[in-house]
Structures are given as C-alpha cells and as structure tokens.
C-alpha cells in the first residue's frame, strides 16, 4: 500500500496506475478535493484507491496522508514524493517570495513527508523522490528547481544510509523530457513550443520525449519488492539524455 503525493495528474498519476495494475492499493493526494476524488475513481475507487486533499507545504499533510492509508487499507509500505515544479525563471527574476514558497513546498514539504514516512515504515518499506535531471545538470531558466532538487537528492542519499540498517530503501527518479503538462508549459515559454520540442528531442538518444506511462512503469518497479536490493539510487528516466556514468 503506497501513498503518492502530487498524484492527480502527470508522473504521479501514471505511477499510481501502474501500481494498481500490479495489484497494489494507493492513497493519492493533490491540493484540490475534486482532483483527488476524480483520480481515485479513475484508479478503481475505494477498493483500490483513496484520494486525500493535501498541500505538501502544510505541516500536517504528511501525518494526515499516512493516517489515511492506515484507515483505508490497514498498512503502509511506501511513498512516492512528487511535487509540482516551482516557477520558471532565471536567478535575477526570482525574488525572496518565490524562493521561500518553493522551499516550503518543494524542499521542506518533501523532507517532512520522507521523515514522517521513515518513522512509520518497517522492514521492506520504501521512500521514493521524484526529482529532475537538474540534480546532475542545471536546466536553463529553472533557477529555483536547479537550487532545490540537488539538495533533495543529497537528503535521499543520506536517508538511504541512515535507514538501510532498518531494511528501508530510499531512491530517487530523475525525469528529463517526459511529455507532461509541466514540460509542455516549459516548452511554450520561448513562444515556439514545437521548435523547443524538436530541439530537445534532438539531444535525446532515443530522439523523442518519454511518456508518463514509461515513467510510471519505472517508478512502480522501484517501489515494488522486485527492487528490494536497490537503495541510494538516483535513476535517470530520460531516454539516454544523461551521457555520464
């Protein structure tokens, strides 16, 4: 039984679909009641999926989501921590308010969820962070994301070392150009989304964007017992875009 934050659309929802298809049950969260209710129904309804509205920046959100898992399904096996991307912009365009808001949601909210999950998980449990290719290489125009995502990767690595003796795994997924609403929004910033997509696709060895389903299958595997000897891993899901080892 898994809790997935930010899972009413995009990568989180795709992962939830794959988990349910594999026989798992899920709690999916998002900021709006209507969105989480719609996502839970699409995933099979109360027997398979429960929706819980929560904002990652809310200090009470982590406890509430894990409590919802226990109430609905009587167990808690892992969490996929995914948050929306912070505002796009260069460093000189981002003020303290944007940095502070993004830190509360993207970094502190994710760290709080991971810490709370670690307190509740037993042997075989797993904590997975949805991060970004910016962990390894800054992405132009995404100053805030470039600043926060690598820090979460460091936290994940640290927690993998700390929680390993308890049999709890901690992993990260590093998507690049996956065909989601967020990526389409980023492609549109320059005014010619088709040209941006063509340019970005040319830099990917597979010469195309990934699909949410491809990401979801990878994330579901990492969360599953089939990946029981994988921890501390930062896995690029990028069609070969990262050329380093």
Domain CATH for 70? 3.40.50.720
Confidence of residue 243 (pLDDT cuts 50, 70, 90): confident
Question: Is it the case that residue 2 has pLDDT exceeding 90?
Answer: yes
Backbone φ and ψ for 53, nearest 5 degrees, come out as -70, 130
Q: Are 89 and 83 in contact (CB under 8 A)?
A: no
In-domain check, residue 104? yes
In-domain check, residue 205? no
**If DSSP codes are grouped into helix, strand and coil, which group holds residue 125?**
coil
> Which secondary-structure segment (H or E) carries 51?
strand 49-53
- Per-residue pLDDT at 87: 86
In-domain check, residue 130? yes
Written as six digits, the tokens of 208 are 């195309």
Confidence of residue 54 (pLDDT cuts 50, 70, 90): very high
pTM above 0.75, yes or no: yes
In-domain check, residue 114? yes
In-domain check, residue 200? no
Distance CA 23, CA 226 (A): 14
Domain count, the chain: 1
Instruction: Return the percentage of the chain with pLDDT > 90, whole number.
Output: 91
Question: Is it the case that residue 135 has pLDDT exceeding 90?
Answer: yes
In-domain check, residue 94? yes
- Per-residue pLDDT at 84: 76
Distance CA 231, CA 118 (A): 14
What DSSP designation does 209 have?
P
Question: Is it the case that residue 130 has pLDDT exceeding 80?
Answer: yes
Distance CA 65, CA 104 (A): 18
Domain of residue 66: give its range.
2-179+214-233
pLDDT in tens, 163-195: 999 999 999 999 999 999 889 998 998 889 999
Residues constituting the chain? 245
* Rounded alpha-carbon distances, angstroms, from residue 102 to 135, 143, 152, 156, 162: 16, 11, 13, 18, 26
In-domain check, residue 207? no
Residue 194: partners with Cβ closer than 8 Å, 6 or more residues away: none
Q: Are 112 and 70 in contact (CB under 8 A)?
A: no
From the list 164, 166, 182, 173, the residue with the least C-alpha distance to 231 is: 164
In-domain check, residue 187? no
Distance CA 39, CA 134 (A): 28
Question: Is it the case that residue 245 has pLDDT exceeding 80?
Answer: no
């Amino acid at each position: 039984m898994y809790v997935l934050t930010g899972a009413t659309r995009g990568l989180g929802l795709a992962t939830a679909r794959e988990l349910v298809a594999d026989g798992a049950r899920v709690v999916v969260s998002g900021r709006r009641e209507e969105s989480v209710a719609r996502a839970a129904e699409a995933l099979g309804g109360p027997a398979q999926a429960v929706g819980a509205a929560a904002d990652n920046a809310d200090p009470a959100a982590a406890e509430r989501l894990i409590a919802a898992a226990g109430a609905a399904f009587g167990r808690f096996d892992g969490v996929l921590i995914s948050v929306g991307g912070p505002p796009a912009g260069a460093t000189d365009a981002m003020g303290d308010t944007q940095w502070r808001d993004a830190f509360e949601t993207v970094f502190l909210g994710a760290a709080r969820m991971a810490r709370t999950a670690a307190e509740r998980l037993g042997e075989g449990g797993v904590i997975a962070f949805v991060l970004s290719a910016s962990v390894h290489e800054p992405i132009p125009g995404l100053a805030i994301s470039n600043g926060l995502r690598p820090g979460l990767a460091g936290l994940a690595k640290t927690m993998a070392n700390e929680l390993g003796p308890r049999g709890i795994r901690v992993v990260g997924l590093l998507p690049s150009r996956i065909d989601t609403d967020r990526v389409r929004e980023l492609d549109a910033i320059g005014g010619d989304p088709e040209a941006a997509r063509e340019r970005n696709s040319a830099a990917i060895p597979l010469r195309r964007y990934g699909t949410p389903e491809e990401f979801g299958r990878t994330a579901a595997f990492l969360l599953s017992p089939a990946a029981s000897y994988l921890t501390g891993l930062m896995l690029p899901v990028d069609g070969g875009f990262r050329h380093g080892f």
